[in-house]
Structure 1
Amino acid sequence: MPSNLSLMRPEDCALVLVDLQAGLAFGVGSEDRQVLLNNAVALARTARVFGLSVVASTSASKVYSGPMMPAVQAAVPDVAPIERRSMNVWEDDHVRAAIEAMGRKRLLISGLVTEACVTFGALSAMASGFEVLVVADACGGVTPTSHDLALRRMEAGGATMTSWIQVLLEFQRDWTRKETYTSARAIVESNGGGYGIGLAYSRDMIHPA
């Protein structure tokens, strides 16, 4: 099993998307919702470019929360979210079995809301022997304080905090890796804020002599 001190490799990792649904996003107060959606989409696109296995889950999709947000679903169109009842994804037999079936012991977790479904799943996965990295800027909490406390609780329990851009750069690692270069750069340009603007500028305006 990889150490949480070692750099991530795509072949060791799986992505778990927890309840990225509009009905739950309405209650997010820890982050601007559009920024959160941008980050979740970027993470999902990154998973596809680097060949990660992906499991997505939803809850109360018919009565309150709605389906997985369309922009996230469009980034992983072949992933069918698994509907569940428990707030803890690990306590749902179908979701847990799907995660275990991926055969990857390093889990990246993103979702809503941080204080409940993300935290419960992360702590339970670690208790079951998985290494967990929480993509904190692709998670949303009810308030900034409760979101931060939830991240701190997961970190105290052994989870590693990261961001979607760090995940992408850690997987790419070397911009001469041509098989993923174009797609990875496209994600940064469209979702990476000022960094992406700079990349687009350098491509369009800076020409070596």
Structure 2
Amino acid sequence: MTLNTDDTLLTPDNHAVMLIDHQYLQLLTVRSHSVETVVNNATFLAEGAKIFNVPTLFTTAFAERQAMFAELQAVHPEQQPIDRFGLNAWDDERVREWVKNTGKKKLVMAGLWTEVCLTMPVLSALAAGFEVYIVTDASGASSVEAHERAVQRMVQAGARPLSTVSYVSEVQRDWSRADTAEQVVKLFEKRGGGFGHGLKWEWQLLGLQEGTR
């Protein structure tokens, strides 16, 4: 498949992913989404990016008091998240240096909370000239209103909202790309909610057992 390089769609090689402060205290105080939704979708996003070898950064704040939740850390167990004290990850020179070293001008971000630790670096990255995409269902806020106002503010500033499913689908883009298609289908089966259960049903109807598909 020949991709159209003139459009704005995300491709495996034109962006980097930043997952900001997906830690237990923030997670347990999220009220815009269920805890299960945030854990599943943040992990879904990271696992999807890993399939396509997309550069991915984890950050934390005050990590000595609250670790990143285990499901997400397990995607890149070798990675030590950049830990900081400031609310805006973009203020940290190590974060900006990591972004610079990727050579990417498109950034896909998700974080906890949406209204603080996601909004601030998104606005800063936009001001620095980056094209920023926010994965709204892999993020969460202290209330539904806080999440909605934060997303609204970021979109008004130029950020592009998308969901976890749309992110993974957009990067896969064509099921004829067999080098990643099978892994993506298995990821959807594992984390894709209703669609994932639909896949399991299809495997059942086709008589395919775990480990043979």
1:54 aligns with 2:40: no
Counterpart amino acid of residue 34 in structure 2: D
Match of 1:157 in 2: 157
Match of 2:36 among 31, 34, 37: 34
User: Bigger shift: 153-162 or 171-180?
Assistant: 171-180
- What is the distance in 2 between the residues matched to 1:113 and 1:4? 34
- What is the distance in 2 between the residues matched to 1:178 and 1:78? 27
- What is the distance in 2 between the residues matched to 1:23 and 1:4? 42
Q: How does 1:152-191 map to 2 (within 5 A)?
A: 152-191=152-191
Match of 2:102 in 1: 102
Match of 2:147 in 1: 147
Question: How far is 1:5 from its partner?
Answer: 6.2
8 A Cα contact 1:4 1:131, kept in partner: no
In the alignment of these two chains, the number of paired residues is: 204
- What is the distance in 2 between the residues matched to 1:133 and 1:188? 21
- Residues 150-186 of structure 1 show CA distances to partners (whole Å, capped at 9, x for unaligned) of 0000000000000111011111111121100111111
8 A Cα contact 1:85 1:92, kept in partner: no
Q: Where does the alignment leave 5 or more consecutive residues of structure 1 unmatched?
A: none
1:85 aligns with 2:92: no
Counterpart amino acid of residue 157 in structure 2: G
Q: Where does the alignment leave 5 or more consecutive residues of structure 2 unmatched?
A: 208-213
Counterpart amino acid of residue 119 in structure 1: T
The TM-score with structure 2 as length reference comes to: 0.91
Q: Please tell me the root mean square deviation across aligned C-alpha atoms, in Å.
A: 1.7
Question: How far is 1:79 from its partner?
Answer: 2.3
Counterpart amino acid of residue 77 in structure 2: P
2:139 is paired with a residue whose SS is: strand
Question: How far is 1:206 from its partner?
Answer: 3.8
- What is the distance in 2 between the residues matched to 1:201 and 1:34? 23
1:57 is paired with a residue whose SS is: strand
Identical-pair percentage: 34
- What is the distance in 1 between the residues matched to 2:41 and 2:10? 19
8 A Cα contact 1:19 1:56, kept in partner: yes
- What is the distance in 2 between the residues matched to 1:197 and 1:177? 23
